A and B are shown apart, each in its own frame.
Chain A
């Protein structure tokens, strides 16, 4: 059973699969253009000095999102490669 959470809670190095995008229409469109649709695998690659925004690897490109925006994307955590999670 995978753990449900939002993208904002992803730690650096963790990967997750998008289950639902709850953002408003404009942001939703922007995210879809970037290829962030339900089913997409996302990896958190970096956090800025203040912890927010964070950078995510989406379909080969790294995109930064603010916490409030990433908080509107529901994901299920994927086990870390080689880890036990």
Chain B
């Protein structure tokens, strides 16, 4: 649910990072590391930026950069996506490896490699982190190893001998607890140290003799061609492994193509034959290299880790038993969802009313001001009754639920619950022949479907990623919650407050979301059987340790970053939409307003779906942002009705009922809100992520068709049964 300009804005899908240095003496430092070890926390702390953080692997899906100053010197930090390895087999791993190998393009042309790399490790899971460290050291001698989460490791009874680790690795090692900002000054000192001083001579992993012999034969030939761009031994090992993505990247980044280089190919052929004679085929070579790295990491970790508490994960295992077991996994998940929604609805009621009264009080004052200034009626109408009133509606309806929902959700995210959701739901995705990580992208969709679509990059299989992208919109984003909540409250629960009623609202909303999730499974299965035929691919899902959420920080960050970001985006769309709707309602053509013409045109079709012309037009006008759909409906009714003074949901209910809303209209509007085209931001994001007009169209048409079918079915059945 990373809602930032980089995740949903124009920069979301730019594959290549363009380095922006403010001066030639600024250092470029790459931050690498396993997923979920706190790279982005370190990055945010040092740069003052707000890359999305949370306790689940895969939050950072693209390279991000930021600047920092340390002891008067400027640095550009590049936050690489989390990777387990540099032997790329996913998009993130390729992005990380390519940046370490070839650097990034610079503004004004040219490429620049990083001056140094920082590999961030998880102190509590050092052994696996070291695998990536060893691989990075083969590629980048100027590396600092940052052992992060020292505080968490200490709490688990683990201590790391940092000096010993530095001796064994041959590069500086710094211990940090990034959540508390500890050790980061020392980290930057060490970074400057490896850049200024002579290049460290890191420890080299010794592979089995046949592999070493082969690398030794190939390396000198490559050294001639690569110069000092990439270490020849590393390149030799990768060529022996025949990593096709590296070959392509190598050709793209330099003027040298190893595949058309006769000498290299000849040597490779000879080496392969030697290796085969020694009984080492390509697969065995790959296994031998990987196994040696794991073995070396195990030895080093064994030497520097002290007091390995045998029951260090006991608390996590017990929590897992409650949160994921057969008896309690799904009930607890539904309870948590309903609980979050209940708190959102119950908590938002009063502030929503207060905001509405306050903002409409301001509207009256504005009207007074316009009258006092003798402003023309049309100006008052366009600015106050158009622009201001829609803005006021968007803010009063949207802000309170968002300001409660986002922090609550972020707390669950910080705690480490989201991967457990993926774990619990995976079986259903497996049956739908999709990837279990799709659940994570759905969770992101709760915040913003555009962010959810970008998040689909965590799914490696292109087929399964496409399924996740096409179905992300079936999860209602935050912009649709307020509409759903308002309709549920007005038509199914009653507007008089009370804890019981808000609980009922929460349960109904949970039901709507569960419907969206069930439809996601069905549509995924349908896609797997038709346009995206295939069998599920293998995948691994990491379940990180539970962390105590940093409550204060979560609340502040989620309100400032997410809530205000989303609200700002909605307001930017709402203001012009308010103007348009006012003009539509007030410009007369042939005795009828433009609005009446439009809604009249849409009305017959909309009635078939259980809606009316105004509702359908509001959804059409709400294409730029779902947040404005409901305010537009209200505006449109207001412009044709006589009721102008109201501030509560009760008045609103009367307004809607006065325009012919029945329980069926309410149900169909909710269904259509859950199931219709993605907003324009999401469509653009799908376009960028898939690079295909056809698939973008599918992402648009699929939920729309499902929604229309569902509304038609419900409306027809209800009418046939004489219920409405």
Contact = CB atoms under 8 A, between A and B. Distances in A.
Contacts of B295: 37
Which among A25, A60, A64, A66 has the greatest number of chain B C-beta atoms within 10 A?
A60
B330 interface: yes
Contacts of A51: 326, 427
A40 to B, nearest CB: 8
Interface in A28-51: 28-35, 37-38, 40, 45-51
A3 interface: no
A69 B427 CA distance: 13
A56 to B, nearest CB: 10
Given A32-B287, A48-B423, A66 B128 contact: no
A23 B538 CA distance: 9
Contacts of A63: 540-543
Interface residues of A, number: 37
B127 interface: yes
A53 B325 contact: no
A85 interface: no
Contacts of A52: 426-427, 430
B321 interface: yes
A53 B326 CA distance: 12
A55 interface: yes
A34 B540 contact: yes
Given A34-B84, A59-B128, A27 B538 contact: yes
Interface stretch (B163-171, B312-320, B522-530): B312-320
Contacts of A35: 127-128, 131, 294, 297-298
A25 B543 contact: no
A61 interface: yes
A26 interface: yes
A40 B428 CA distance: 30
A40 B131 CA distance: 15
Interface string B426-438: 1110100000100
Given A35-B294, A37-B291, A55-B423, A49 B538 contact: no
B324 interface: yes
A78 to B, nearest CB: 14
Contact of B542 (A47, A62, A66): A62
Contacts of A31: 540
Given A24-B538, A47-B326, A64-B540, A32 B294 contact: yes
Contacts of B423: 46, 48, 53, 55, 64
Contacts of A27: 538
Given A24-B538, A49-B324, A63-B540, A34 B424 contact: no
A77 B126 CA distance: 26
Nearest to A64: B541
Contacts of B84: 30, 33-34
Contact of B427 (A23, A40, A48, A60): A48
Interface string B288-307: 00110011011000000000
B284 to A, nearest CB: 12
B283 A25 contact: yes
Contact of A49 (B126, B325, B419, B539): B325
B329 interface: yes
Counting from the closest, the 6 A-B pairs by CB-CB distance are A50-B427, A27-B538, A32-B290, A33-B84, A33-B85, A49-B329
25 contacts: A25-B283, A29-B290, A30-B84, A32-B287, A34-B84, A35-B128, A35-B298, A37-B295, A40-B294, A48-B324, A52-B427, A53-B426, A53-B427, A53-B541, A59-B127, A59-B128, A62-B542, A62-B544, A63-B543, A64-B423, A65-B540, A66-B430, A66-B436, A66-B538, A69-B539
Interface of A: 23-35, 37-38, 40, 45-53, 55, 57, 59-66, 68-69
Interface of B: 84-85, 87, 89, 124-128, 131, 283, 286-287, 290-291, 294-295, 297-298, 313, 316-317, 320-321, 324-326, 329-330, 419, 422-424, 426-428, 430, 436, 536-545
